[in-house]
Structure 1
Amino acid sequence: MNYVLLARSNYFRVRDPKRFERWCSYFGIEYWTGKEIPDSEDLAYAIAADNGEGWPSSHPETGHEFNFDEELAKHLDPRDIALLYQVGNEGLRYISGHASAIHADGRAVHVGLHTIQDLARKEFGEDVVITDACY
């Protein structure tokens, strides 16, 4: 079996829609548009990576690695936060999940499914047994 990743975002506004659409096309990122921002007529974008590899980490032409979060941040409207979700699996043998919140100024916060173990340990104590389900 192969490990497969799927990725999707929430809706967010961008600084320059045409430039953002070219960027998405270059990296093979799907996008949708809609008027999804509450109390706003602004066009918003949601992005997805349905390539089995999740969010891109290298340039398609050069192969040089890059930081997806930092590159996306350059496009974001500073009024919005882009939430990036990524889940993966190898059948039911391995599952993983990760979420990021990205701001236009380059700041980001990240959380993984494995975080639940730390929360459970804190809530239920050190005496309980918690085995891994995510890798």
Structure 2
Amino acid sequence: MNYVMQSRTNYFRVRDPKRFERWCRYFGLRFWKDQKIADCPDMFYAVGNDDGEGWPSTHPETDEEMDFETELMKHLDPRDIAVSIQTGAEGLRFLDGYAVALHADGRTVHMQLFDIYEKAQQVFGPQVTITEAVY
């Protein structure tokens, strides 16, 4: 079985819509536009990737490594936070997820789906057994 990833963001504003759309096309990303968000006349964008590989990690033409989150932050309007969610699965054998909130100034907040085990142990205490949802 192969591990397959899906990725997408929430809706957010960008600094330069034409440049952002070119960037999405360059990396083969899908994007959606919506102008009916937050009672605001601005255009909002969401981006996603459903090719099974998750977010791109290399430039298509040069194969040079790149950090998707850093590249996305360059496009963000500083009034908004982009939330990137990536999930993956190897059938029902292994499920995983990761989310990061990004701001244009470089600040981030990260969260792993597997953090639930540690958090649950802290809440329920060491006397309980918590197994992972894998086999």
TM-score range, shorter chain: over 0.9
SS of corresponding position for 2:25: helix
**Residue 124 (structure 2) aligns with:** 124
2:6–2:53 Cα contact (<8 Å) kept: yes
Give the alignment's TM-score, normalised by structure 1.
0.96
1:110-121 → structure 2 map (5 Å cutoff): 110-121=110-121
Q: Provide runs of 4+ in structure 1 moved above 6 Å.
A: none
Looking at structure 2, the residues matched to 36 and 98 of structure 1 have their Cα atoms a distance apart, in angstroms, of 28
Q: Which runs of 5+ in 2 are unaligned?
A: none
Amino acid at match of 1:102: L
1:32-111 → structure 2 map (5 Å cutoff): 32-111=32-111
User: How well do the aligned residues superpose, as a CA RMSD in angstroms?
Assistant: 1.3
Looking at structure 2, the residues matched to 33 and 134 of structure 1 have their Cα atoms a distance apart, in angstroms, of 37
Q: 1:36: Cα distance to partner? A: 4.1
Q: Which stretch of structure 1 is more off in the superposition, 12-21 or 28-37? A: 28-37
Looking at structure 2, the residues matched to 53 and 127 of structure 1 have their Cα atoms a distance apart, in angstroms, of 39
Amino acid at match of 1:92: L
Q: Which runs of 5+ in 1 are unaligned?
A: none
Looking at structure 1, the residues matched to 36 and 8 of structure 2 have their Cα atoms a distance apart, in angstroms, of 15
SS of corresponding position for 2:85: strand
Aligned identity (percent) is: 59
Looking at structure 1, the residues matched to 126 and 41 of structure 2 have their Cα atoms a distance apart, in angstroms, of 51
**Residue 9 (structure 1) aligns with:** 9
SS of corresponding position for 1:101: strand
1:78-133 CA-to-partner distances (Å, cap 9, x unmatched) read 00000001100010011100001000011111101111111101110011111122
1:12–1:37 Cα contact (<8 Å) kept: no
SS of corresponding position for 1:72: helix
2:2–2:90 Cα contact (<8 Å) kept: yes
Q: 1:35: Cα distance to partner? A: 1.5
SS of corresponding position for 1:85: strand
